[in-house]
Structure 1
Amino acid sequence: MSFLPVLKIPAVLLRGGTSKGVFFRLEDLPADCRKPGAARDRLLLRVIGSPDAYGKQIDGLGGATSSTSKVVIASRSARPGHDVDYLFGQVAIDRALVDWSGNCGNLSAAVGPFAIETGLIDAATLPRDGQATVRIWQANIGKTIVARVPMQDGRVLESGDFELDGVTFPGAEIELAFLDPGDDGDGADARAGAGGQGEGAMFPTGRVVDELALPEDLVAAGRLRATLINAGIPTVFVDARALGYTGTEAQESVNGDAAALRRLEAIRAHAALRMGLIDALDEAATRPHTPKLAFVAPPQRYRASSGRIVEAGDIDMLVRALSMGRLHHAMMGTAAVAIGAAAAIPGTVVCEAAGGAPRASVRFGHPSGTLRVGAEAALVDGQWRVTRAVMSRSARVLMEGVVRVPAEILLPSKELP
């Protein structure tokens, strides 16, 4: 049996925030993979090493966690006022699925450095020293992100003293501003063209708090108060105590409980249906990346995964969030945007956990430590609108070169693995 020569595709492995992923320039992908479809998904699955029945992604670049099973496609932007278009794919580990339904806030921090270092932005427009302002069009959700990337001697500066809980080593600080992160439907056409989907209003039910009707085996009395919000990423916030949690849980205490994970996934599916993201409960399995499910609680003392003690007085609230069916080791950047947005709006479950008064900035505790995020909210014509959310991350190139992929994966007759 003969085989085709292996494909060699330019790529860069980057860490952004508490995630890492494989980045591609759109122009470097095989022609059939430059548009949404099965060929693109087959290629990216093979790059990452999915689906892997062993759950390890040994034969790919994925790291066998939701935080490390990610891909990014970037290109020069033809959109006025933007420098680069950014498309994000969350790759399932044990299934042949690439979920394009949302953004990754952590990897958003690496888009600017990647665009600068790979020539997607004209070097003549960049400062030699100081901060480069990179305007990013997030194609999955049809929103603008403004990144301020530190520069030194005409190159991206990666070294620095900015510390981010969940990342072992310090780096240079990159400030991210998510403009108008609350979804009002304006980006629906752009999302559809990029392979994403329109999600509706920031509060899809028109309320800052809803009561979900659930089977009684999921929650006591079959009722669960929840804030359903589209800001940064569709997110479902519930009170930790209603689920039997304290909000101080470590990652292994939740992820080691298979029954709890099944219960939490079922709650997420019911919330997705209520948000209008799916038409039937079983469809939730086809979009595991969104919505996110998070549980919140008032501040209290706990031990972070690094061993450091986080005092109650150091934080405004506690948050634990699930990503791709498992408790996240820190906090997804997009979920942090949702936290900041909800904390700025009175009456939400998040605002209640943070003391009840709306906050322009909130510091919350997560399994790896703490994070601060700010948001600007206003009531406009009877509807809440968040105009801006800001947080800081760091990013670093881990490896650059080419990825090698068996060419057979692109044959038209090839089914998804």
Structure 2
Amino acid sequence: MAQPTQIAMTAKLQRGKTRHVLPSVWMRAGTSKGLFIKRKHLPASESEWPAMLLAAMGSSESCPRQLDGVGGATSTTSKVAVIAESSREDIDVDYTFIQIGVGSDAVDLSGNCGNILSGVGPFALDEGMVKTQPGQTEIDVRIYNTNTGRTIVETIQVTEDGKFEEHGTYSMAGVKGTASEIKIAFVHPAGSMTGKLFPTGSRQESLLVTTAPGLEPFSVLATLCDAANPFVLIEHSSMPQAWHDLDRNSTTSLDLAEAIRCTGAVKMGLATSISAAHEVRGTPKIAILSPTLTAISHSSNSALKHPADVSITAYTMGKPHPSFQLTGAVCLSSAVAVPGTIAHDLAKKREVLTPPETPPSCSVDGDGDEKVGDGRVVKRVVTIAHPSGELSTLVEMWEGMDGEVEVRSVSVSRTARRIFEGNVLFAL
């Protein structure tokens, strides 16, 4: 694919606008789709990016259908990844995530997107930004996320000619068919934006919400957690009755969730006020947690190896998420693994239906824990039920004898596919 070294201005259009040509690749990455762009094809100053990316995605003039661009009119299909070869030690590529507003002119660089992240390694390999050796069948791509200052290691499969192997037998919830497995390890994900796993110092707390339209002030039980991305995690049964009674897509229900999210943002130190929190819709995010009901029968074919620990209803940019953010899975899995959080408590309480002669297994501790210093390294699989299916992660955590914890890594698998490559044309 021929790629100019900078954006080319081709022809003057009516009303003084200029047509621009932006070399790019459109990819499905996990359960999201987005525009993948090399950093060298964008202006040196990030202040010039918003107008260009809004136009390229079709969000200029706050168009909700993105008809004049490549966006898919949903938050999960209106994303951008900017990738550059890295000068950082032991890092292959730098990756900046950008959420483009749908029906608004919002351009949010405040957090990471794990689903779009899963396409970064394949993109970097296919674009020659990382190289393989002859005969190599897989490669580890070390990625630095500039939004959060965190390192991610992606293990991807390689074809005989050194390109990303898209085809395989791995399947993931929310995507039809099978593809090559992309293994993603978030290294030391805690404190992505606040510097702490639990920014307030509490593993669970009561959150007083005073700004929900049409409702008297109320409190919800929350865990405010920051791993890969900051999340406001809410215990389902503590939500006001109005939320339980309403359709999840109703204006009142969405306003209620947004009021809780904004309150959590202020409490976490991510916003100075409720109004300021409302201006940044991308972070923190919010998810409502509820216990799972898992049936296990005598049949080995129907028995679940890892029954779901918790069920979630997540939100993205003010709307219910059709599945679950990958960074959300990292954050929630970290919370499930730490005693004292609402996620950990819900996982312990999950109800497992089994025949009387088959004892239930509800342990939340890892098997074969390794003793390290004054503590132990715990490895455990966390399974999360979401609207499109289930998602499992592997958490590795150090747990001190005094209750101190350190999340060393959270690993998860995704798939990705290159859909088109070429140039996006837009006018400014």
TM range, normalised to the smaller chain? 0.7 to 0.9
Normalising by the residue count of structure 1, what TM-score does the alignment of the two structures yield? Answer: 0.85
Aligned counterpart, 2:358: none
Whether the 8 Å contact between 1:161 and 1:170 is mirrored in structure 2 is yes
Per-residue CA deviation, residues 339-391 of structure 1 (Å, 9 max, x unaligned), is 11011101111111111664521111100001101212224686432110000
Aligned counterpart, 1:204: 199
In structure 2, distance between residues paired with 1:52 and 1:169: 37
One-letter amino acid of the counterpart of residue 92, structure 1: G
Per-residue CA deviation, residues 306-342 of structure 1 (Å, 9 max, x unaligned), is xxx9999842221111111111101111001001101
Q: 1:231 to 1:268 in 2, by over 3 A?
A: same
Per-residue CA deviation, residues 265-298 of structure 1 (Å, 9 max, x unaligned), is 0110000000000001101122101111001111
Per-residue CA deviation, residues 206-243 of structure 1 (Å, 9 max, x unaligned), is 11112111229688872211000110100011111222
One-letter amino acid of the counterpart of residue 229, structure 1: C
> Could you tell which deviates more after superposition, 72-81 or 39-48?
39-48
Determine if the alignment matches structure 1 residue 149 to structure 2 residue 156. yes
The runs of 4+ residues in structure 1 deviating greater than 6 Å are 218-221, 309-313
Whether the 8 Å contact between 2:218 and 2:240 is mirrored in structure 1 is no
Determine if the alignment matches structure 1 residue 96 to structure 2 residue 89. no
Determine if the alignment matches structure 1 residue 271 to structure 2 residue 264. yes
How far off its partner does 1:34 sit? 3.0
Whether the 8 Å contact between 1:300 and 1:311 is mirrored in structure 2 is no
Per-residue CA deviation, residues 30-62 of structure 1 (Å, 9 max, x unaligned), is xxx23321x111111111111455511111111
Whether the 8 Å contact between 1:209 and 1:226 is mirrored in structure 2 is yes
One-letter amino acid of the counterpart of residue 274, structure 1: K
Whether the 8 Å contact between 1:248 and 1:367 is mirrored in structure 2 is no
RMSD of aligned residue pairs (Cα, Å): 2.8
Structure whose CA Rg is larger: 2
Determine if the alignment matches structure 1 residue 62 to structure 2 residue 71. yes
Q: Which has the higher contact order (CA 8 A, sep 6+)?
A: 1
Q: How does 1:306-385 map to 2 (within 5 A)?
A: 314-355=307-348, 358-359=364-365, 360-379=380-399, 383-385=404-406
How far off its partner does 1:118 sit? 1.1
Residue 14 of structure 1 aligns to a residue whose secondary structure is strand
In structure 2, distance between residues paired with 1:207 and 1:215: 21
Q: How does 1:13-412 map to 2 (within 5 A)?
A: 13-29=26-42, 33-37=43-47, 39-51=48-60, 53-121=62-130, 123=131, 125-126=132-133, 128-153=135-160, 154-183=162-191, 198-215=193-210, 222-243=218-239, 253-255=247-249, 257-300=250-293, 314-355=307-348, 358-359=364-365, 360-379=380-399, 383-406=404-427, 409=428
Residue 348 of structure 2 aligns to a residue whose secondary structure is coil
Unpaired runs of 5+ residues, structure 2, are: 1-13, 296-301, 350-362, 366-379
Q: Give percent identity, aligned residues only.
A: 34
How far off its partner does 1:300 sit? 2.5
Whether the 8 Å contact between 1:112 and 1:149 is mirrored in structure 2 is yes
Whether the 8 Å contact between 1:126 and 1:132 is mirrored in structure 2 is no
Normalising by the residue count of structure 2, what TM-score does the alignment of the two structures yield? Answer: 0.83
